[in-house]
Amino acid sequence: MSTQTPTMAKGLDGVIAGETAICKVEQHALIYRGYEIADLAEYASFEEVAYLLLVGEKPTAAQLEAFNDELKGERGLPSHVRDQLKNAGELVKKHSAVPMDLLRTAVSVLGHFDPECQDNSPEANLRKSKRLLAKVPTVIGHMQNAIDGKDYVEPDDSLDHAANLLWMMTGQKPSPEAVKVMDVSLVLYAEHDFNASTFTARVIAGTLSDMHGAVTGAIAALKGPLHGGANEAAMEMLAEIRKDIGPDNDPKKIQDWMHKAFEDKRKLMGFGHRVYKNGDHRAPILHALGRKAAEARGEEFVKLFDLGEAVQKIMLDEKNIFPNVDFPCGMTYFTMGIPVPQYTPIFVASRVSGWCAHISEQHANNRLIRPRVAYTGPDLRKWNA
């Protein structure tokens, strides 16, 4: 056993904690299994990206068709989970639950009804991955239906993953433009190497626990505002600015608000990234799509993007901090009419593809993840001294 003092970094900043063939995150590139994110966002559907992550290669036309058919066939939920979600409205309105809590619980319960829950073989893991990928949007849709006090909107087999997600949440067939924006956002959020939620999933999988348990833990990690919840927090911050300064987007008022936030050392959500010091590659892609959607919807939404761009400029000019993908995501989903508390659950509908790929990879080449710690407590002492 080595007696060398382990390397210590707060938050594991910069520490290489393992190997993966799934994703590469660099200052100047985000790569899924060899494909750069801008390339995927422009040319690949989310289903193609999910197949790439889970199986390891770009699907042929026949493989993609079979994959889509499998996902559509697995969208339905067990009656127990459907019944459980009927209480979503009461839990949200009368208690302290938020949609991420309800989604986390539903995924955990889905494990009880999956016949392969305890089987960690590569074949079973792939089948479970497809089932989870298919069912998470249904959970989100039924949850939102219950919160709205409406009957469940059932999955539509004529719709792809992104369109079906929007359909089940609203009961309205989405426009091709809305489907495109949602599809690209799912591609952008699908994977990001050892981020907090993925690392959580791998730590759980590293004990040889099951996929549903690992995904449940990942959802709990993603909920936090320093991770997946940042898109909700970013939109809430912009709503606060709009309320404080009024509807005219006066540059002086925006600057005064930002300077007050700087003075108060307030953490402004949707900015900065542990890896991307010179800008998140995903942010401009989603910003451009969101801005286009806002222009199609009208002045109110354009003014939201105007405000966001003013905030971004102040952050960059005065703090040299770039927005991450969560900042344009908040504005874009708001423009699409998606309730703010569902932004992070939608993140799950995408990232579950990356999580499941990592869980499968961990199971296939496992070593228990057990780091050391730098002890800062008292020196050795006697209890009866």
Please state, in angstroms and as integers, the Cα–Cα distance from residue 262 to each residue in 166, 257, 259, 316, 325, following that order: 37, 9, 5, 13, 21
Question: Cα 212 from chain centroid?
Answer: 17
Looking at 273, 281, 358, 363, which residue is catalytic?
Answer: 273
Looking at 119, 148, 227, 306, which residue is catalytic?
Answer: 227
Nearest C-alpha neighbor of 181 from the set 45, 331, 329, 289: 289
Pairing of strands 23-26, 35-36: unpaired
Count of other CB atoms within 10 angstroms of residue 2: 5
- Which DSSP string corresponds to 36-90? EHHHHHHH--HHHHHHHHHHSSPPPHHHHHHHHHHHHHT----HHHHHHHTTHHH
Count of other CB atoms within 10 angstroms of residue 120: 21
Known catalytic membership, residue 273:
yes
Nearest C-alpha neighbor of 274 from the set 369, 195, 355: 195
Looking at 114, 210, 280, 326, which residue is catalytic?
Answer: 326
Distance CA 321, CA 278 (A): 8
| Enclosing H/E stretch for 32 | strand 29-32
Known catalytic membership, residue 142:
no
Instruction: State the first-to-last Cα distance of the chain, in angstroms, to the nearest integer.
Output: 33
Angle separating helix axes 343-364 and 99-112, nearest 10 degrees: 40
Known catalytic membership, residue 326:
yes
Residues serving a catalytic function are 227, 273, 326
